[in-house]
């Protein structure tokens, strides 16, 4: 299973982010993961994206080796950053602790940031052309995401060479 969604880069324009790639343990090391990534890259090409990004856990040596064989570049200069739970609300000015800004300003900024990230109606049309969008969100801010129609049945076996 491959779950990915469109993103926008200020440097590259349209991109896809591969959020999750999962192959059942009994089917690993048979080329299924590589075929799934290939399908994600095909969807990116059709959508006019020339960048696909994803993350890998450093301890997942077989996956990292697979990505190396594909030519993926490990970005050593970029740090992954995250806010979770109450920290998200605090930074938005809606939770306990020192407020970063007022609730109204935070909500307006969130909606504005969402519009910038999605790019308005024109960008939504390209999102719809790449996959069936589904909306999921909360507090009035929605996130557009889609899944690839790329699934290999657990019972399927890779073709013999």
Please give the angle made by the CA atoms of 69, 48 and 115, to the nearest 5 degrees.
115
The Cα–Cα gap between 147 and 124 comes to: 15
Place of tokens 């890259």: 41
CA distances from 134 to 38, 68, 72 (A): 23, 32, 29
67 catalytically annotated? yes
Secondary structure (DSSP) of 112-131: HHHHHHHTHHHHHHHHHHHS
Secondary structure (DSSP) of 21-62: E---GGGTTSSHHHHHHHHHHHHHHHTT---EE----TT-HH
Q: Of residues 2, 21, 36, 67, which has the active-site annotation?
A: 67
Neighbours of 128 (CB within 10 A): 12
Q: Are 138 and 155 in contact (CB under 8 A)?
A: no
Residues with a catalytic annotation lie at: 67
């Amino acid at each position: 299973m491959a779950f990915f969604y469109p993103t926008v880069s200020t440097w590259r324009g349209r991109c896809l982010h591969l959020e999750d790639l999962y192959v059942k343990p009994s089917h690993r090391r048979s080329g299924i993961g590589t075929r799934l990534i290939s399908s994600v890259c095909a969807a990116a090409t059709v959508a006019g994206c020339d960048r696909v990004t994803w993350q890998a856990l450093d301890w997942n040596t077989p996956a990292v080796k697979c990505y190396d064989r594909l030519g993926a570049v490990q970005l050593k200069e970029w740090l992954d950053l995250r806010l979770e739970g109450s920290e998200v609300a605090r930074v938005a000015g809606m939770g306990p602790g020192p407020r970063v800004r007022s609730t109204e300003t935070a909500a307006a900024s969130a909606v504005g940031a969402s519009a910038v990230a999605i790019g308005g109606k024109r960008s939504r049309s390209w999102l719809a052309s790449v996959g069936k969008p589904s909306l999921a969100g909360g507090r009035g801010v929605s996130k557009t995401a889609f899944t690839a129609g790329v699934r290999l049945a657990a019972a399927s076996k890779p073709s013999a060479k």
